RNA sequence: GCGCCCGUAGCUCAGCUGGAUAGAGCGACUGACUACGAAUCAGUAGGCCGGGAGUUCGAAUCUCUCCGGGCGCACCA
């Protein structure tokens, strides 16, 4: 609503400027004034023109206002301050439009005319070797929310979760299973605990036991791996005091490397263990994310990128385009390298600053594989994965890559725009891939490659102490401490979710005594997830979240439950009033509709005769109008959110709308309102707000409970 | 050494392409449940927007510089 009006005003001002001064402006600056006294939309364009025209800004503003005349949807324009052009909306008309908004319309129409854009969003991408932690939650929640925003804006979106199942992190767990003393498990003899059948049995044991005791998360395979991962990292370091120990350390590091190479090669016992463990852990990651309403379409795995020789296909193209070249001298002698972003390719012989893609022993580095993978994403590789279904969701299946897949499968890759949700620490490697694409002449692909970067989630020293970790005096002084899977230092995702649900459940039990067990549990889960998702979304991407249970477990103030509570309140109003938002909006439309037809013949006095406009103007009604106006800003916020890749904008919008509603709720009593026409108006106000809140929450992945 | 990010109220953060009196939440202190449920609302206190210089009619926002904090910069993956 507001978005359309802004665009219309911008065009109108542009036309006037072109006509009056023969100046072509690319875009007219428009902003929201700090106070409704200044109108609903303002433009400081006169300041900009003042220099070019050598004229006082106030005079220019006046000339533009005169030139504008009447613009549909606006009640008038005025010049204020040193030269602002302030626009006032036709409030009654705006309210009519806002009330009539069809939420389905959000799937914007113009996109279809240009052909639906196809985006590929990759998020989560947790190494399948340990339980997910709160840092991974931020990634997945940001990514999932962005997917929802894109879909609301009419994009076709494929959601991918990249699985690095052949990396050192998985190798570390295999090493642990093959070489460490493991927990005693019934049916496994200590002597052959490291054999393949025993490891298989161990994984199966955890699958069965964790199903039998769903409350005991420590039985879950991903939790078991969390501990093993920390243990094996201690094991690698051994006791580095004596020479014998140093030899031992070297030996263990060698075991690690050998294990990694076996996994990469495939078709052997080590690789089989890796496959078992990474698949089992992956499945639990999907379960954990599903608790938050997060689903995926496709899981490309590194093992297939290796076995299907993606790199070999990419290498040819890289060499042909000259992006990849060999150096013969310097520290990179014998390597195939690529110039770094921002640097010049130096001589062909020595290039110490270049990025190594192929090592002197002929093996490819991580960046090389990543370039190949991204060529596939844009459909530029000329090679594809095999596919088979892996995980079943309520509405669709999630597919996984495989060497020889099913004949009948959906098509992934070949997107026009990609978004990689990866933390800020990886901006260098991401830049390398973009650099390669550009160097190969794929400028369009490089331009539509977005590193959706975000800062990490760390723990406050206080939180770390609460969890029982020993922290140094040095760390205590820091604002936050980085999470480390290697050290087993962090808050696991499922633990946090459990804690949140326990806290909300206690509240719900106290409040909802009339409801049964399953209902209360459902409400508690909706609130807990709402709290968690909002918590991860309210910070803008490049601010580090210093995690603290006090903040994360809060349900008051700027939180998800605060917004959910506003929805519940509105629903209660309609329940008590024995009506529905739909009915209220229909009643409102009927009344205003009559006003429209009446006023058609006498346009000039239409506003004065519109029964509802009296409730939208005047000092005492400014807050109500502000509420309508904010409700009408949704598409504007959605557009900004997508353009900036910043879901936090929408989160803030939802909170502010809920806040303004709560204020309205305390000031005006709806059901006891005696003036029937005003009552219809107030009900319509609540109906518009609940519609917008539910929609915004939906896009944030937050459900709206029936009660709380 | 090079690159990126951050520095705004006691704490945690917003502040959109430069614009009109710098905003929230938490915490502190006052008040408001016989009401559409208080997971709420109203109010008070609290800010040389890290320091300095520059560009501009105009800077929390852009540029430079300094200070403080964080993270990257391997033939590891």
The CATH number of whichever domain residue A652 belongs to comes to 1.10.730.10
Q: Distance in angstroms, CA of A94 to C1' of B39? A: 33
- Angstrom CA distances, A291 to A72, A521, A529, stand at 47, 13, 8
Within-domain flag for A95: no
**Quick check: A22 pLDDT over 60?**
yes
User: What share of chain A has pLDDT > 90, as a percent?
Assistant: 75
From A244, A279, A295, the end of a domain falls on A295
Q: Residue A105 pLDDT > 90, yes or no? A: no
Final residue of a structural domain among A262, A295, A328: A295
Cβ of A462 less than 7 A from strand B: no
Verify if strand B has an atom below 7 Å from the CB of A557: yes
More confident residue, A353 or A524: A524
Q: Is the domain of A601 the same as that of A694?
A: yes
> With a 7 Å cutoff on the CB, does A683 touch strand B?
no
For residues A694-701, average pLDDT: 97
Residue A478 lies in a domain: no
CA pair distance A557, A657, nearest whole angstrom: 13
User: In the predicted model, is pLDDT for residue A25 greater than 90?
Assistant: no
Alpha-carbon span A112 to A356, nearest angstrom: 43
Q: How far is C-alpha A297 from the geometric centre of its chain's CA atoms? A: 16
Residue A243 lies in a domain: yes
Indicate if the pLDDT at residue A599 is higher than 80. Answer: no
Q: Which of A156-165, A180-189, A591-600 has the lowest mean pLDDT?
A: A591-600
Instruction: Give alpha helix (H) positions in A124-167.
Output: 134-152
Contact A122, A420 (CB under 8 A): yes
Q: Say which CATH number the domain at A23 has.
A: 3.30.1360.70
**CA of A372: how far to CAs of A375, A376, A383, A529, A687, in Å?**
5, 6, 10, 37, 51
Question: What confidence tens digit (pLDDT) does each residue in A378-393 have?
Answer: 999 999 999 999 999 9
- Between residue 91 and residue 130 of chain A, the positions with Cβ below 7 Å from nucleic chain B are none
Please check the confidence at residue A342 and state whether its pLDDT lies above 60: yes
Contact A74, A93 (CB under 8 A): no
CB A1 within 8 A of CB A33: no
- Strand B: positions under 7 A of a protein C-beta atom: 4-6, 12-21, 23-27, 36-42, 56-58, 69-77
Look at residue A309 and tell me whether its pLDDT is greater than 90.
yes
Confidence of residue A73 (pLDDT cuts 50, 70, 90): very high
Which one of A94-108, A245-259, A593-607, A688-702 scores highest in mean pLDDT? Answer: A688-702
A598: Cβ under 7 Å from strand B?
no
Residues A74 and A178 grouped into a single domain: no
CA distance A162 to A476: 35
CA-nearest of A89, A56, A124 to A421 is A124
Instruction: Say what percent of chain A tops pLDDT 70.
Output: 94
E strand or H helix that includes residue A329 = none
Please state the rounded mean pLDDT for residues A41-69: 90
pLDDT digits (tens, 9 = 90+) for A612-659: 788 888 878 889 999 999 999 998 999 999 999 999 999 999 999 999
Does residue A467 contact residue A491 with C-beta atoms inside 8 Å? yes
Cβ of residue A48 lies below 7 Å from strand B: yes
Distance between the alpha carbon (CA) of A84 and the C1' atom of B56, Å: 17
The reply to whether A568 has its C-beta less than 7 Å from any atom of strand B is yes
Q: Which residue has the higher pLDDT, A515 or A613?
A: A515
Confidence of residue A473 (pLDDT cuts 50, 70, 90): confident
At A118, which helix (H) or strand (E)? strand A118-122
Residue A605's pLDDT is 40
**pLDDT given at position A598:** 44
Nucleotide nearest to A573 (CA to C1'): B36
Q: Note the pLDDT of residue A350.
A: 61
Query: Is this complex's ipTM strictly greater than 0.90?
Result: yes
Residue range(s) defining the domain that contains residue A32: 2-89
The answer to whether residue A654 is domain-embedded is: yes
In the predicted model, is pLDDT for residue A606 greater than 70? no
| Whether residues A84 and A212 fall in one domain | no
Q: What is the overall mean pLDDT for chain A?
A: 91
Instruction: State which residue has its Cα closest to the C1' atom of B73.
Output: A428
Instruction: State the nucleotide closest to A361 in CA–C1' terms.
Output: B75
Burial class (CB in 10 A: 0-12, 13-18, 19+), A509: middle
Same domain? For A567 and A667 the reply is yes
> Which DSSP category does A455 fall into?
P
pLDDT at position A252 over 50: yes
Backbone phi and psi for residue A86, each to the nearest 5 degrees, phi listed first: -105, 135
Spatial distance between the Cα atoms of A101 and A109, rounded to a whole number of angstroms: 14
Better-predicted residue by pLDDT, A603 or A545: A545
CB atoms within 10 A of CB A332: 20
Is the shortest CB-to-strand distance from A300 to strand B under 7 Å? no
Residue A337 has pLDDT above 80, yes or no: yes
Indicate the pLDDT class of residue A53, thresholds 50, 70 and 90: confident
Indicate whether A587 and A692 sit together in one domain.
Answer: yes
d(CA A454, CA A542): 5
- pLDDT tens track for A660-686: 999 999 999 999 998 888 999 999 999
The answer to whether residue A206 sits within a structural domain is yes
Give exposure, A83-116, as e/b (b: 16+ Cβ within 10 Å): bbbbbebbbbbbbbbbbebeeeebeeeeeeeeee
Nearest CA-CA partner of A447 in A438, A459, A460: A438
CA distance A672 to A680: 12
- Residue A384 has φ and ψ, to the nearest 5°, of -140, 165
C-alpha to C-alpha distances, A704 to A623, A695, A696, nearest whole angstrom? 25, 10, 10
- Strand B lies under 7 A from the Cβ of residue A31: yes
* Beta partners for residue A540, in sequence order: none
User: C1' nearest to CA of A261: which nucleotide?
Assistant: B77
Q: Rounded mean pLDDT of A348-362?
A: 83
A560, A530 in Cβ contact below 8 A? Answer: yes
Integer Cα distance of A532 and A525 in angstroms: 10
A574 and A689 together in one domain: yes
Q: Would the Cβ of A547 be found within 7 angstroms of any atom in strand B?
A: no
Is A66 part of any domain?
yes
Q: Is the pLDDT of residue A118 over 70?
A: yes
CA A323 to chain CA centroid, Å, is 33
Structural domain total, chain A: 3
The mean-pLDDT minimum among A188-197, A300-309, A467-476, A484-493 falls in A467-476
Give pLDDT, residue A594: 53
Predicted confidence (pLDDT) at residue A608 exceeds the cutoff of 70: no
Domain boundary residue among A50, A70, A89? A89
Question: What confidence score (pLDDT) does residue A347 get?
Answer: 55
Tell me the CA–C1' distance in angstroms for A566 and B41: 13
Closest CA to A234 of A249, A251, A218: A249
Each as own residue / partner, the long-range contacts of residues A497-502 (CB below 8 Å, 24 or more positions apart, any chain) are A497/A288, A497/A291, A497/A292, A497/A528, A497/A529, A497/A532, A498/A217, A499/A549, A499/A553, A500/A528, A500/A529, A500/A531, A500/A532, A500/A552, A500/A553, A501/A525, A501/A528
Nearest CA to A424 out of A545, A537, A322, A341 is that of A545
In a domain, A313, yes or no: no
**For the residues A244-252, what does the mean pLDDT come to?**
84
Q: Is the CB of A671 under 7 A from strand B?
A: yes
Residue A323 lies in a domain: no
């Amino acid at each position: 609503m507001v978005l359309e009006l802004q665009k219309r005003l911008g065009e109108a001002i542009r036309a006037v400027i072109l006509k009056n001064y023969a100046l072509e402006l690319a875009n007219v600056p428009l902003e929201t004034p700090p106070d409704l006294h200044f109108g609903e939309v303002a433009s400081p364009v006169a300041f900009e023109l003042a220099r070019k025209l050598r004229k006082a800004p106030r005079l220019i503003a006046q000339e533009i206002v005169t030139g504008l005349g009447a613009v549909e949807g606006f009640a008038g324009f005025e010049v204020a301050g040193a030269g602002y052009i302030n626009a006032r909306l036709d409030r009654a008309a705006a309210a009519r439009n806002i009330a009539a908004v069809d939420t389905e319309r959000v799937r914007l129409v113009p996109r279809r005319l240009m052909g639906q854009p196809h985006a590929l969003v990759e998020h989560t991408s947790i190494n399948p070797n340990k339980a997910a932690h709160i840092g991974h939650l931020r990634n997945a929640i940001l990514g999932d929310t962005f997917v929802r925003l894109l879909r609301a804006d009419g994009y076709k979106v494929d959601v991918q979760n990249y699985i690095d199942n052949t990396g050192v992190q998985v190798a570390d767990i295999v090493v642990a299973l093959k070489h460490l003393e493991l927990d005693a498990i019934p049916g496994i003899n200590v002597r052959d605990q490291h054999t393949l059948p025993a490891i298989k049995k161990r994984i199966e044991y955890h699958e069965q036991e964790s199903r039998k005791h769903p409350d005991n998360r420590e039985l879950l395979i991903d939790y078991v791996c969390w501990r093993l991962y920390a243990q094996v990292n201690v094991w690698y370091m051994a006791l580095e005091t004596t020479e014998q120990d140093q030899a031992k350390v070297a030996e263990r590091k060698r075991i690690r490397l050998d294990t990694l190479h076996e996994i990469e090669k495939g078709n052997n016992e080590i690789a089989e263990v890796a496959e078992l463990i990474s698949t089992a852990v992956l499945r639990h990651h999907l379960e954990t994310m599903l608790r938050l309403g997060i689903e995926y379409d496709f899981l490309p795995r590194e093992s297939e990128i290796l076995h299907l020789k993606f790199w070999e296909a990419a290498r040819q193209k890289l060499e042909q385009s000259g992006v990849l070249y060999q150096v013969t001298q310097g520290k990179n002698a014998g390597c195939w390298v690529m110039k770094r972003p921002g640097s010049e390719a130096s001589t062909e012989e020595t290039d110490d600053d270049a990025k190594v893609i192929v090592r002197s022993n002929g093996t490819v580095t991580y960046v090389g594989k990543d370039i190949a993978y991204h060529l596939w994403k844009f459909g530029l590789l000329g090679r594809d994965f095999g596919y088979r279904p892996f995980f079943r969701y309520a509405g669709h299946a999630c597919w996984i890559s495989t060497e020889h897949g099913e004949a009948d499968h959906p098509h992934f890759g070949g997107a026009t725009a990609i978004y990689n949700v990866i933390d800020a620490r990886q901006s260098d490697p991401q830049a390398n891939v973009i650099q390669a694409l550009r160097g190969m002449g794929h400028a369009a692909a490089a331009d539509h490659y977005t590193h959706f970067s975000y800062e990490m989630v760390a723990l406050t020293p206080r939180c770390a102490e609460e969890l029982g970790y020993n922290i140094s005096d040095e760390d205590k002084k820091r604002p936050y401490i980085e999470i480390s899977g290697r050290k087993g230092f962090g808050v696991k995702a499922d633990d946090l979710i459990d804690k949140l649900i326990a806290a909300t459940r206690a509240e719900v039990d106290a409040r909802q005594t009339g409801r049964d067990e399953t209902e209360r549990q459902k409400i508690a889960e909706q609130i807990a997830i709402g709290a968690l998702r909002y918590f991860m979304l309210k910070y803008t991407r490049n601010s580090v979240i210093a995690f603290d249970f006090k903040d994360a477990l809060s349900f008051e103030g700027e939180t998800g439950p605060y917004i959910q509570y506003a929805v519940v309140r509105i629903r209660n109003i309609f329940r008590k009033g024995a009506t529905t938002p739909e009915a209220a909006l229909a009643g409102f439309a009927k009344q205003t509709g009559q006003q429209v037809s009446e006023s058609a013949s006498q346009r000039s006095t239409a506003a004065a005769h519109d029964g509802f406009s009296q409730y939208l103007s005047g000092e005492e009604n400014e807050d109500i109008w502000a509420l309508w106006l904010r409700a009408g800003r949704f598409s504007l916020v959605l557009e900004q959110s997508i353009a900036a890749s910043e879901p936090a904008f929408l989160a803030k919008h939802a909170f502010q709308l809920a806040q303004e509603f709560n204020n309205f709720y305390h000031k005006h009593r709806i059901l006891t309102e005696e003036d029937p026409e005003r009552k219809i108006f107030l009900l319509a106000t609540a109906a518009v707000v609940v519609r917008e809140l539910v929609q915004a929450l939906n896009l944030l992945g937050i459900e709206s409970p029936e009660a709380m």
